Structure 1
Amino acid sequence: MNDRWTRAEERYRQRTEEQRYRRSDHDWGDAGRAPRARGGRHAASTDDWDDYEDDTAVIPRYTDEQEAATYSTDPTLPRVPEGHPEDWVEPGYHTGEWEQSDRPVAEPGSRSRRREVAEATDWHDDDPAAFEDEDLPPARPVRRRPPERATRSGSGRDTPRRPSGRGQSRGRRSRAASRKAAERKRRRRNLWAIGAVFAVLIVAAGGYAGYKLIGKLNGPEDFAGPSGPAVVVRVQPGDTAEQIAQTMADKGVVASSGAFYEAAVRNSGMTGVQPGYYAVPSHSKGADAVAALLEKKNRVGNVVIPEGKRLHDSTDVTTGARNEGIYRKIADASCVGTAADKKCVTPEQLDAAGSSTDLVALGVPSWALDAVRQVPDHSRQLEGLIAAGAWDFDPTGTPTDILKQLIGASAHSYESTGLLQSNGANNMTPYQTLTAASLVEREAQPNDMAKVARVIVNRMANKQKLEFDSTVNYTLDRTEVATTDADRARENPWNTYAMVGLPVTPISSPSLEALQAMEHPTPGPWLYFVTVDKQGTTMFTDSFAEHQRNVVRAQQSGILDSGKGN
């Protein structure tokens, strides 16, 4: 009995080795032999088991390394495609035909081993009782491999077996593991990059914080030496102390905005700083710059235009005093510096710039362009376009730039009263309304302006001459309230005694009250008016006879006496 078991185990080992180390008959010199079917006789066996036909095979246990070596070193076997081993199919086999048992291999000599040998060889003892004393457990059924092997067409070589499903699964797991490893590596790189960015930001923030801390400990940078020439800086409407400090630093007045700001917050006078232009010495200490900003004498480019003022100077007949015109007032406000360093724009330069035919460069508004082009005397073409009021301009600009800045601001002021929509009330263009308002400004007291505006509208509707003494005085170098017969007889585009209608330009800069009165005149039939005393009492009437009586009353008060004589 033991000899039979020994021979059976020997045959089992040989079959196992054959399956583990497959060979081609051609490689071993058996090319001339006909290929045998799987499970055929063992030629090496000479005992009474030689006639045994085996139709089973125990599947050997392979490792990935053995499987790779088998398929890579045997030149007779087909190659597995690189990159996609799961797509390779062995010729002659189809997925799912058979399934390998995962039962572990038993140790030689054990009962389970004997049972496997018996099952592998399909051996049945003539004397079943011979194994009864072994007390073997019942054998489990084993799925068997197909008996025949596919061969290459037209050749006698065995076709290699398809790699096991376990190898494919391990290959897929290996690729998935590689992808996961690459993903982990990429994530680590990203984390390192993000960490580096955060580190740089932290270092930068720390450096900036240290710089600010050192700056606070040492105080803001400030000039120590003597100040330099004056620099013009502008304080915008609504500027805070910090914004003014930054402007000072940008202009080179102070070494840093902090130096000015620290001095400004300690000076209560900063709350009274007005928007405008200031001449402040350059390279000043912060405290000195604040003090200079608060001094009224350092305010530059600020001009106040009285109501009824005209562009050029004139002389009062009664007092002999010079009535300064708008151009001279602008020139005086343009001066920057002191003594030898003082720089100003002259009235003559402004007059020359104001006579230019380039009206767009002068900032003339579109609603006045056509009328201004028709003015015969270009030196008077800008009359009335610079409004009465307080204005700021940059004194460092050219005369043309200064006029443009003032005319633009004045046009905006005029338009804010509804000038562009006033033609429905007085049947006049915006420029004609401005011209008529200049007459109202020169002829009436504030409480009578709307009535005088109505007289102008009524007379123009009747095609009557206006006959205003203010229009006679406009072209005269020496002016007064009363006029002479000779002055009234002069014919020019402004004398309303010599023509019907309005003057060719305004005769002064009207106030907004006069402009509003002309835009909305008081309803009434009046055609005449005259001031009858030096207190400004004005009489209005639509009767010429009554008007003559009022004129006599004015003459008796002496208000109509001329200093020039008749």
Structure 2
Amino acid sequence: MSGRWDEGGSGRPTGSFDFDNDETMVMRALPQTIEPPHMSRAEARKQREAQSKRAKRGKKVGVLALLVLVIAVLGVGAYGATWYMNRTQAAADYAGPGGAPVVIQILPGETASEIGATLAEKDVVASSAAFYNAAVSNSAEIQKVQPGFYQVPVQSSAADALDTLVAPESRVGLVVVAAGRQLHDSSDAQTGALKKGIYNLIEEASCVGSASAQTCVTADELNTAGASSDLAALGVPSWAMSSVQGVPDKDRQLEGLIAASSWDFDPTGTPTEILRTLVQGSAEKYESTGILTAGSGVGLSPYQLLVAASLVEREALPDDMSKVARVIVNRLAVDQPLQFDSTVNYSLDTTEVATTDDDRARVTPWNTYAMPGLPATPIASPSIEALQAVESPALGDWLYFVTINMQGETLFTHSYDEHLANIVLAQESGILDSGR
């Protein structure tokens, strides 16, 4: 047997013992504190006590840190659970049916939460969370909701409010202005059909309220507001201001300044506020084409470009617009009267392609048979295509054109004799027959 004994005389084995016979015993020593040779037993004891205190403090810090972590996790979990429940569980909601309708606006890019907040603010729904839940439950329906103005009954259930928003009859304050539309009504001499003016279309789009208590901004109120001398309040752009101030018939001073497009307006606004919305939006639309600078190439101001574009709109099919624009520019350059039947028709209540000798003889600020130059105002709302045609007309020396058949075929020429021959073709086709 081999081994080592503690030299300190303690008589305790400090290593391992191996027996040379078949039996082998291995005995591991218990952990012990090794005292430095220079340290007394009392000092060693104090050191052990200090180590024990540090160990206990370390355990306490560890337990405390673990407790803080657990609390934090529980807090986040509770917040997440609360958020989830607010979003997906039952929220304050009206049972319905709703009451009187109110007008709300949905802006481009708004989320279901933002729409819900607007509805809650107007007391359409009891809470924005209820509307959000309804939208989540019917994601296909919420995606149909478009920016604009809607009338929705107050104190509706969230599901009913969503259904109302996607119903076409709930949309208010939406007016569609077709290219060639005028401010005031006119009728066709051939068919007697009424062509509603822009003021009448706005009136129809402005009606709000229940069937028994509906209110509308009338065409007469719009006409009065549109004739105001406060052009800034009407949104007239600076590039049109001086020309509009000089319009002889104030009822027509906004002609052409409401562009052909779909427009949203607040139907609860005043007539002046409604017109300002449409005129300002139209000015931005026109300016996007380059109207402020394009006229330099054809010798026209921005407002004159708009006037010429309205003539192109009423005289030409899309394929011929740039050619008709060139005829206008060429005639103005040589001070030749435009002699457009559309300008004669403008001041008539009943219109048709053909005009009579008496019609053409009437002197008005718009009749280009009776005066040189452009009319006093646009004669309709031009399309952007018509405006672009005037801004950049086709190249050509044409001074005359005439549509020769019902299919819209139009012939252009520089020669007056050729033009007279083309008029005969038009007469033979019946396109110039009068209904009066």
- Shorter-chain TM band: 0.7 to 0.9
Deviates more, 1:265-274 or 1:320-329: 265-274
Superposed CA offset, 1:495-534 (max 9, x none): 0000000001000000000000000000100000000001
TM-score, normalised relative to structure 1: 0.62
Please name the residue that 2:179 is paired with. 307
Q: What residue in structure 1 maps to residue 62 of structure 2?
A: none
- Out of 278, 282, 289, the position equivalent to 1:410 is 282
Q: Percent identity?
A: 59
User: Which residue pairs with 1:123 in the alignment?
Assistant: none
In structure 1, the residue matched to 2:95 is: 224
Q: Tell me how far 1:203 sits from its aligned partner.
A: 13
Alignment of structure 1 residues 285-300 onto 2, 5 Å: 285-300=157-172
Q: Work out the CA distance in 2 between the residues paired with 1:236 and 1:226.
A: 26
1:330 has 2:209 as partner: no
Q: 1:549 aligned to 411, 421, 434, which one?
A: 421
Give, in whole Å, the separation in 2 of the partners of 1:216 and 1:309: 48
Asked whether 1:317 is paired with 2:204, we answer no
Residues 348-402 of structure 1, C-alpha deviation per residue, up to 9 Å, x if partnerless? 1100110111000000001000000000100000000000111110101011100
Checking the alignment, whether the CA contact within 8 Å between 2:87 and 2:133 is kept in structure 1 is: no
1:441-460 matches, within 5 Å, as 441-460=313-332
Amino acid at match of 2:203: A
Find the counterpart in structure 2 of residue 234 from structure 1: 105
Counterpart Cα distance in 1 of 2:163 and 2:178: 30
2:101–2:210 Cα contact (<8 Å) kept: no
- CA–CA distance in structure 1, aligned partners of residues 116 and 390 of structure 2: 45
Any residues of structure 2 matched to 1:324-473 within 5 Å, and which? 324-473=196-345
CA distance in 2, matches of 1:409, 1:552: 44
Q: Which moved more, 1:544-553 or 1:267-276?
A: 267-276
**Superposition deviation, residue 337 in structure 1:** 2.4
Establish whether residue 485 from structure 1 lines up as the match of residue 357 from structure 2: yes
Name the CA shift for 1:212/1:446 in 2 (closer, same or farther; >3 Å). Answer: closer
Partner Cα distance (2:144, 2:358) in 1? 53
Residue type of the alignment partner of 1:394: D
How does 1:22-421 map onto structure 2 within 5 Å?
Answer: 215=86, 219-267=90-138, 268-421=140-293
Give the drift of 1:338: 3.1
Where 1:456 maps in the other structure, the secondary structure is: helix
- TM-score with structure 2 setting the length: 0.80
Task: Write the distance in 1 (CA, Å) between the matches of 2:290 and 2:330.
Answer: 21
Q: 1: distance between equivalents of 2:361 and 2:379?
A: 18
Question: Distance in 2 between the 1:374 and 1:406 partners?
Answer: 21
The structure having more radius of gyration, on CA atoms, is 1
Give the drift of 1:424. 2.2
SS of the counterpart of 1:422?
helix
Query: Structure 1 residues 213 and 555 mapped into 2: Cα distance closer, same or farther (>3 Å)?
Result: closer
Alpha-carbon separation, structure 1, partners of 2:161 and 2:83: 24
Q: Secondary structure at the match of 1:289?
A: helix
Q: Following TM superposition, by how much is the alpha carbon of 1:336 offset from its aligned partner in structure 2, in angstroms?
A: 1.1
Tell me the alpha carbon deviations over residues 118-176 of structure 1, each in whole angstroms, 9 at most, x when there is no partner.
Answer: xxxxxxxxxxxxxxxxxxxxxxxxxxxxxxxxxxxxxxxxxxxxxxxxxxxxxxxxxxx
Listed one character per residue, the Cα deviations across residues 233-292 of structure 1 (whole Å, up to 9, x for unaligned) are: 111111122221121112211111110011112221211221111111111111110010
Distance 1:264 1:463, change over 3 A: same
Answer 1 or 2: higher relative contact order, Cα 8 Å, separation at least 6: 2
Residues 218 and 553 from structure 1, CA distance in 2 versus in 1: closer, same or farther, beyond 3 angstroms? closer
SS at match of 2:152: strand
CA contact (8 A) 2:100 2:210 kept: no
Give distance in 2, aligned partners of 1:474 and 1:215. Answer: 61
- Determine the structure 2 residue equivalent to 1:172: none
How far apart are the structure 2 equivalents of 1:348 and 1:293? 30
Residues 149 and 266 in structure 2, CA contact (< 8 A), matched pair in contact too: yes
Unaligned 5+ residue runs, structure 2? 1-71
In the alignment, residue 290 of structure 2 is paired with which amino acid?
Answer: G
RMSD value, Cα = 1.9
Is 1:558–2:393 an aligned residue pair?
no
Q: Using the alignment, how far apart are the partners of 2:429 and 2:306 within structure 1? A: 32
**Shift of residue 210, structure 1, vs aligned partner:** 8.3
Unpaired runs of 5+ in structure 1?
1-200
Question: For the residues of structure 2 that align with 1:210 and 1:548, how far apart are their CA atoms?
Answer: 85
User: Which amino acid in the other structure matches residue 122 of structure 2?
Assistant: K
